[in-house]
Amino acid sequence: MGTAGLLRLFSLFTGISVLQQVGSWTINVPKTVTAVEGSCVVVPCQTQPHNRVIWYQYHKIHYPVVYNGRQSHTVESQFRGRTSVLGEAAEGNCSLMIDKVRRADNHLKVYVWIDPESKTSQKFHEQIVTIYVERKTPIISVQRQIVEGDIFQANCSINYSCPSSPPSIHWKKSSSLESSTFTREVQGQWLYRETMHGLATNEIHNSKLSCSAQFRTFTTQSQEITLNILYKPVAVSLTLENKAVTEGGSIFMECDAKSNPRPHTYSWFRRKTDQTDKISSTRGRMSFHNITRDTSVSCMAHNDIGVGQSDWADVDVHYAPVILPESSCSRTENMLRCVCRAEASPNASIYWTIDGNHTLSSSFTSNSTNQTHVVSGYLWVPAEGLNNVSCTARNLLGSDTKQMSVGSWSETSSLLTWVSCLIALGVVLLIGCSIFSYRKYSRNRSQDCLGNVHEEENRYDTCQRSQVDDTQSGQKRSERNSEVDRLSCVYDNDCVEEMRRSHWAEQHGNNATAVQREGGLNPLTKGDHCDMSIYLNS
């Protein structure tokens, strides 16, 4: 019986474990180890410093070799090239590593034998380690609520059993994820985690995100998750159910918006000219009545994240033509130029009528230009012999006609107008000069009358002084002819009548006073010479 047999027999009687005998080996190994398929697995083993290690697969009949460093040819084919011992023997490390773990390695039982050449009795086959093999898939996770504008992160985690060779992680993601970081944590075995950071935008809402872990022999895929980004209404737009409406009719509008969550309230705006009306509603569809031209509509969508508004949509309102006031005709030399402008929707067509004739002759020229809802018609015709020109604007909703004023404004009529104005101005100036000359002449004649009256007064005073002097000196004069004396004192200018009386009264009173001062003489009578009453009363 060999030494090993003796030791076994001795242990049966003593009941003392070989591990506790003096000179026996003390080994620390776990009972189980979990390996990840495609990775490697390490069976931890710690003992005293040693020289050689052999690992066996547990079997009831024989002893298959899992690892033998010196005699690798003895290793079972299924383990050949896949097994090794880690650490330093001098430090007592006897750990076994099995690479490229397979599904067939599941439930593999192994045990270790330290220094097989040693004479020490060992029971290593009683300390068996069972290896369990699992297939792991990456686990992807992301925060539950992501609001647009936030920086969010997504994690891809994988468990593995080979510390020296973790699997590589690959992302199937949106290109808008901007950056990524990597972290490594230990939980039981080893946990490998890769974290992807990104900016939350409405463009990546509902996008798919997944990751995969690549081992040496195969790749495993994570589940696919859908990103749920909360954002305010964007791309708000209006849809008009009826493309065009007749003025005074009704329209129905639909307000569409991209948002998460969906809008819960809508604000409707109706703008016409300078007035804007607002309507609040929980519906995304609204009707508007009594539509007028130049009407615009906009909507605003509200949700719990924010508000978004559409652009203003101009309503296509159809109405009958209206000829604009600036439509007219004017003469240029021998031609008549007419312009007819009409506002209508849809655009109107312009028709001309000349002296009741709707068909234009070859000598007439016409064309038209179109703008937004305004059409302009032009007509050039010989002006000679024309009496009536009218234009008609017509579309599907009605028509409007205007009788044009022929020759209202032209270069010739403008020249005649200026000549007439100059003639009228000359007449006014002539009349003004005549009135001015007449007034000046009247003033000069009045001054002449006053001068003649003063001269007559002087002559009258001279006559009176002569009579007084003759009386005082006693000289007798020969009788004169009274008629000649009167004529010698008469003022022969036909002066103004009203001035005669005033001067006569003044002179008469002054003469009488003068006579009284000289000697108490009585004033002259009508029979005396130089009788002024004859002159003044004549």
Per-residue pLDDT tens over the stretch 5-37 = 323 322 332 333 333 333 567 889 999 999 999
Q: Write down the pLDDT at residue 367.
A: 66
Model pLDDT, residue 105: 94
pLDDT of residue 301: 97
pLDDT at position 506 over 70: no
Domain assignment present for 289: yes
| One domain for residues 199 and 156 | yes
Tell whether 433 is covered by a domain: no
- CATH number of the domain to which 215 belongs: 2.60.40.10
Q: pLDDT class for 187, splitting at 50, 70, 90?
A: low
What mean pLDDT is predicted for residues 316-320? 92
User: Comparing 176-180, 210-214, 264-268, which segment has the lowest mean pLDDT?
Assistant: 176-180
pLDDT at res. 445: 58
Residue 114 within a domain: yes
Whether residues 38 and 113 share a domain: the answer is yes
Number of domains into which the chain is organized: 5
pLDDT at 499 over 70: no
Q: Is 226 helix (H, G, I), strand (E, B) or coil?
A: strand
Of the pLDDT bands very low, low, confident and very high (cuts 50, 70, 90), residue 513 is very low
Average pLDDT of 498-505? 49
Last residue of a domain, one of 262, 286, 314: 314
Q: Which of 24-28, 121-125, 281-285, 499-503 has the lowest mean pLDDT?
A: 499-503
Q: pLDDT value at position 415?
A: 53
462 and 375 both lie in a single domain: no
Shared domain check, 456 and 509:
yes
Rg (CA), the chain: 68
476 and 495 housed in the same domain: yes
Average pLDDT, the chain: 76
Distances from the Cα of 223 to the Cαs of 142, 210, 216, in angstroms? 12, 6, 21
Q: How far is it, in rounded angstroms, from Cα 25 to Cα 33?
A: 22
Given 204, 227, 250, which residue is the final one in a domain? 227
Whole-angstrom distance, CA of residue 94 vs CA of residue 83: 12
| Within a domain: 425 | no
Q: Is residue 294 part of a domain?
A: yes
The percent of residues in the chain predicted with pLDDT above 70, rounded, is: 69
Give a yes or no: residue 421 inside a domain: no
Q: Taking Cα atoms as reference points, which of 153, 155, 198, 156 lies closest to residue 175?
A: 198
Is residue 130 located within the same domain as residue 7?
A: yes
**Same domain, yes or no, for 237 and 354?**
no
* Stated pTM of the model: 0.56
Long-range contacts (CB closer than 8 Å, 24 or more residues apart) made by 72-81: 78/104
pLDDT value at residue 75: 95
Q: Looking at the structure, do residues 80 and 94 belong to the same domain, yes or no?
A: yes
Give the model's pLDDT for residue 424.
Answer: 77
Task: Assess whether 8 and 129 both reside in one domain.
Answer: yes
Indicate whether 88 belongs to any domain.
Answer: yes
Q: Poorest-confidence range of 333-342, 374-383, 434-443? A: 434-443
pLDDT at 53 exceeding the cut of 90:
yes
Where among 109, 134, 159 does a domain terminate? 134
Query: What range does the domain containing 26 cover?
Result: 3-134
Q: Is residue 414 part of a domain?
A: no
Give yes or no: residues 454 and 353 share one domain: no
CA pair distance 469, 259, nearest whole angstrom: 136
**Same domain as 60, residue 176:** no
Q: Within this chain, do residues 293 and 255 fall inside the same structural domain, yes or no?
A: yes
